[in-house]
């Protein structure tokens, strides 16, 4: 008799009390990275060898765009330099099958770069234009290259900093401060109560598009506290139990989306009018039509590559 059959029918139907699922995070876009970072083994010599290796595979970024090379985002080092990458700014993400994986950035001008196709990173994910492991590498590379672009100067003394450890640190030669790339945790949650869940829409969203509520985890706050605070601030709903579901790197530029389901203890919605243009309860049946894109009023959800979609789907399809 497996564990699922030993719990009562009533308990099994309690979504927040369901049996544990496997780690789902790697199944979502940007979560399937397979790069070995080898942080402990990084020396000046090993980094220099990797950056100069003829076997290196290079991701090329320009703003929120990644370069595509057929069905892959990997180029040779020579191709990256020919496309305009500054050799001094190339960083070492890690290794795949012992081959170094590097990231390079090219300038925003000129708009057309001979020999490469540039695509918006969200579009690359939505359309599945590269293998999942490369999307994971793109998330890492995009977050790191963006961090370097914005952290050229020491936050402590203002002097110019320099790339260290192949790109996982910047050091200040003036005051000695070490600066590390940051990851910004975001709690994204689906508040549920029986057969109903809460969805909202930001004024920035396309019309008819609804999603989970979300917000940055603040300093000194747990994930659970962030879920309760954000849901209360944005929708006026009091949250009881919080259950972690899965997470997703979100390289715009460096968020980690932490997906949770949350038990709504109250039903009255008091919408934060600055954050949300609409927020209401949806039934399971209505949500299922949004997943299937058959909703009578054309309401729809984020695409399957986004963790919001998976949070909503996991609840909607739970029997």
Could you list the residues that contact Zn ion (CB under 5 A)? 154, 156-157, 159, 172, 174-175, 177
Task: Collapse the DSSP code of 244 into the 3-class scheme (helix H, G, I; strand E, B; otherwise coil) and give the result.
Answer: strand
CB closer to Zn ion out of 175 and 270: 175
DSSP conformation letters of 268-294: -----TTT-SEEEEEEHHHHHHHHTT-
CA gap 133, 41 in Å, rounded: 22
Minimum CB separation of residue 159 from Zn ion in Å reads 5
Minimum CB separation of residue 42 from Zn ion in Å reads 22
Minimum CB separation of residue 181 from Zn ion in Å reads 17
Task: Please name the residues in contact with 155: beta carbons below 8 A apart, sequence gap of 6 or more.
Answer: 177, 179
Minimum CB separation of residue 174 from Zn ion in Å reads 5
CB closer to Zn ion out of 15 and 153: 153
CB closer to Zn ion out of 37 and 151: 151
Minimum CB separation of residue 179 from Zn ion in Å reads 9
> 143 near 137, Cβ under 8 Å?
no
CA gap 224, 156 in Å, rounded: 32
> 93 near 103, Cβ under 8 Å?
yes
Minimum CB separation of residue 156 from Zn ion in Å reads 4
CB closer to Zn ion out of 13 and 182: 182
CB closer to Zn ion out of 52 and 173: 173
Among 180, 196, 110, residue whose Cα is nearest residue 144: 180
CB closer to Zn ion out of 13 and 162: 162
Q: What angle do CA 211, 214, 217 make, to 5 degrees?
A: 165
CA gap 130, 117 in Å, rounded: 13
């Amino acid at each position: 008799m497996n564990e699922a059959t030993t719990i009562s029918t009533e308990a099994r139907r309690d979504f927040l009390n369901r049996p544990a699922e496997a780690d789902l995070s790697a199944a979502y876009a940007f979560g399937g990275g397979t790069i070995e970072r080898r942080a402990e083994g990084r020396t000046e010599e090993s980094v220099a060898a990797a950056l100069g290796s003829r076997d290196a595979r290079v991701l090329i970024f320009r703003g929120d765009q990644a370069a595509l090379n057929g069905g892959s985002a990997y180029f040779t080092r020579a191709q990256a330099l020919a496309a305009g990458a500054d050799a001094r700014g190339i960083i070492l993400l890690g290794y795949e099958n012992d081959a170094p994986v590097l990231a390079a950035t090219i300038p925003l001008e000129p708009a057309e770069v001979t020999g490469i196709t540039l695509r918006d990173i969200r579009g690359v994910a939505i359309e599945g234009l590269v293998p999942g492991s490369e999307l994971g590498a793109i998330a890492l590379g995009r977050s790191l290259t963006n961090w370097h672009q914005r952290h050229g100067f020491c936050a402590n003394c203002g002097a110019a900093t320099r790339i260290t450890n192949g790109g996982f640190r910047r050091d200040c030669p003036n005051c000695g401060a070490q600066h590390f790339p940051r990851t910004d945790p975001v709690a994204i949650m689906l508040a549920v109560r029986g057969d109903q869940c809460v969805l909202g829409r930001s004024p920035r969203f396309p019309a008819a598009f609804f999603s989970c509520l979300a917000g940055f985890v603040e300093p000194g706050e747990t994930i659970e506290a962030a879920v309760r605070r954000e849901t209360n601030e944005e929708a006026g709903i009091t949250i009881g139990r919080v259950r972690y579901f899965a997470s997703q790197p979100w390289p715009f530029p460096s968020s980690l989306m932490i997906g949770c389901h949350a038990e709504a203890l109250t039903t009255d919605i008091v919408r934060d009018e600055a954050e949300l243009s609409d927020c209401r309860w949806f039934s399971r049946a209505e949500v299922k039509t949004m997943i299937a894109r058959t909703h009578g009023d054309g309401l729809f959800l984020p695409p399957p590559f986004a963790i919001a979609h998976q949070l909503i789907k996991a609840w909607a399809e739970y029997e």
